[in-house]
């Protein structure tokens, strides 16, 4: 399981999540931050500090939000 960053991050990009991640799996993209689902250890540290509540567990995604997991996978696949 991994965490996923959703739409509220777009434009906000506060970055607290990056500094608390113990495995450095969060990277800044052009319009938002992304969590690498292959590295995330599901610790929830990022979720606790997000000021806009943009981070959810992968299994809590609604069908409308699943695109954000795909965006994260594509972001890291192109690295």
Residue 5, SS3?
strand
**Could you read off the pLDDT of 17-46 as tens digits, one per residue?**
999 999 999 999 999 999 999 999 999 999
Task: Round the average pLDDT of the chain to a whole number and report it.
Answer: 94
CATH architecture of 3-77: 2-Layer Sandwich (3.30)
Residue 4, SS3?
strand
What per-residue confidence (pLDDT) applies to 7?
94
Percent of the chain at pLDDT exceeding 90: 91
Q: Which of 7-11, 41-45, 65-69 has the lowest mean pLDDT?
A: 7-11
Taking residues 63-76, what's their average pLDDT?
96
């Amino acid at each position: 399981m991994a965490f996923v960053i959703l739409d509220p991050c777009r434009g906000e990009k506060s970055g607290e999540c990056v500094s608390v991640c113990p495995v450095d799996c969060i990277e800044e993209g052009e319009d938002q931050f992304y969590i690498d689902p292959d590295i995330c250890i599901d610790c929830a540290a990022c979720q606790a500090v997000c000021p806009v509540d943009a981070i959810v567990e992968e299994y809590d995604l609604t069908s409308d939000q699943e695109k954000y997991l795909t965006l994260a996978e594509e972001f890291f696949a192109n690295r």
